[in-house]
Amino acid sequence: MQYFNVMDYEAPAQARMNAAHWDYYAGGSGDEITLHANRAIFDHIRLRPRMLVDVTTCDTSTSVLGSPVSMPILVAPTAQHGFAHPEGECETARGVGQAGTLLTASSVSSRRLEDVAAAASGPLWFQLYVFDDNTITVDVVQRAEQAGYKAIVLTVDVPRFGNRERDLRNAFHLPVSANFDVPDVTKLKPSLTWRDLAWLKSLTSLPILVKGVLTGEDTILALEHGADGIVVSNHGGRQLDGAITSLEALPEVVEASSGRCEVYFDGGIRRGTDVIKALALGAHAVLVGRPVLWGLAVNGQEGVRHVLELLRNELELAMALCGAPTLKQITPTLIRR
């Protein structure tokens, strides 16, 4: 089997996985309208390439909150990599490191955050879910800092678990996370508000990114409450079905941030041309969710590395064909409005 693009990994990954685990990875909420729209929206954005620019070398390297990475393509937090590979997130971390980029490790993990850090050769961020019991949050944030994670990514779009009908039909329940002893990880703190961001900041010296922002209003609130970065995301279409796509939300978030923080993007990235579109609309870098899980299921660390390399190669080619040999040259003028 040859894998020419990241979608080539999807069917073989499904074939290797337990059906309920596959549905958990693949699914969205409700009618999966937002899940599908996240992809479809990229087809409606067209590029305005420039010609006769010297593109002998196209440089995809950059830095994210100060950490150097080989490409503006990071790995989004996704739960329970043990469904895809026996080594779980440790195996993912190895592949991500080989691709020279960054892994955001989920709170809801098959492996302990310390073991993931030990397996990693690249920078890591730690994604945080806040439970009712504050001692869990304090403990996990301090452990992440001690283990060398470079930032905390606070996910804010899960006041309640989304309506995942595939999971209901399969009677699927998420297993306990290896990171903490919480029997039902879908019971988060629904009373969490922007004010808690200040408390979170008091727990750590790490920068805090807020993941799940889709409006300019919330961008301003996040910055007022001390956020160091924003991840524009609708959780891969797994939370509010009918929510705006991440790509539609990106320009207003970028505008509201007015250059005060790095703005990241996730949702539906499957091609290098998707990456260049998101960067042109103001994202500092993008994060990729499901395709990394497909690579992991098919071929472990090598699959993860290859999925990321495919995207990097496609981005590099798109930069050449757009006449934008550096990331700085990827600007809104590349997009037909």
Ligand X SMILES: CCCCCCC(=O)C(=O)O
Ligand Y SMILES: Cc1cc2nc3c(=O)[nH]c(=O)nc-3n(C[C@H](O)[C@H](O)[C@H](O)COP(=O)(O)O)c2cc1C
Q: Which of 13, 90, 119, 158 binds ligand X (CB under 6 A)?
A: 158
Q: Which of 81, 235, 284, 306 is catalytic?
A: 235
| Residue linked to tokens 């929206």 | 41
Decide which of ligand X, ligand Y, none touches 186; Cβ closer than 5 to 8 Å per partner kind: ligand X
Burial of residue 22 (number of CB atoms within 10 Å: 0-12, 13-18, 19+) = buried
Residues that bind ligand Y (CB under 6 A): 24-25, 38, 76-79, 106, 108, 127, 155, 211, 233, 235-236, 238, 266-269, 288-290
Q: Does residue 235 have an active-site annotation?
A: yes
Q: What is the x/- site pattern for ligand X, positions 260-299, by CB under 6 A?
A: ----------------------------------------
Residue 25 touches which member of ligand Y, ligand X, none, C-beta under 5-8 Å by kind? ligand Y
**Tokens standing for residue 282:** 């103001």
Which partner, ligand Y, ligand X, none, binds residue 188 by CB below 5 to 8 Å per kind?
Answer: ligand X
Q: How many other C-beta atoms are found inside a 10 Å radius of the C-beta of residue 194?
A: 15
> 181 exposed, middle or buried (CB, 10 Å; 0-12, 13-18, 19+)?
exposed
CB 129 within 8 A of CB 109: no
Instruction: For the CB of residue 129, give the shortest distance to ligand X in the complex, in Å.
Output: 5
Nearer to ligand Y, 62 or 234 (CB): 234
Both tokens of 24, joined, read: 């958990």
The 233-262 contact track toward ligand X, x by CB under 6 A, reads --x--x------------------------
**CA atoms of 110 and 225, how far apart (whole Å):** 32
Closest by Cα among 210, 136, 143 to 180: 136
For residues 55 and 246, which CB has a smaller minimum distance to ligand Y in the complex?
Answer: 246
112 interacts with ligand X by CB under 6 A? no
Least CB distance from residue 115 to ligand X, whole Å?
Answer: 19
Q: What is the DSSP string of 77-131?
A: P-S-GGGT-TTHHHHHHHHHHHTT--EEE-SS-SS-HHHHHHH-SS-EEEEE--B
C-alpha 245 chain-centroid distance: 14
Q: In the block, which residue shows the tokens 């579109």?
A: 277
Residue 268 contact among ligand X, ligand Y, none, beta carbon within 5 to 8 Å by kind: ligand Y
Which amino acid appears at position 153 of this protein? Answer: V
Of the pair 55, 131, the CB lying nearest ligand Y is at 131
Residues involved in catalysis = 235
Q: Which residues bind ligand X (CB under 6 A)?
A: 79, 108, 129, 158, 161, 174, 185-186, 188, 235, 238
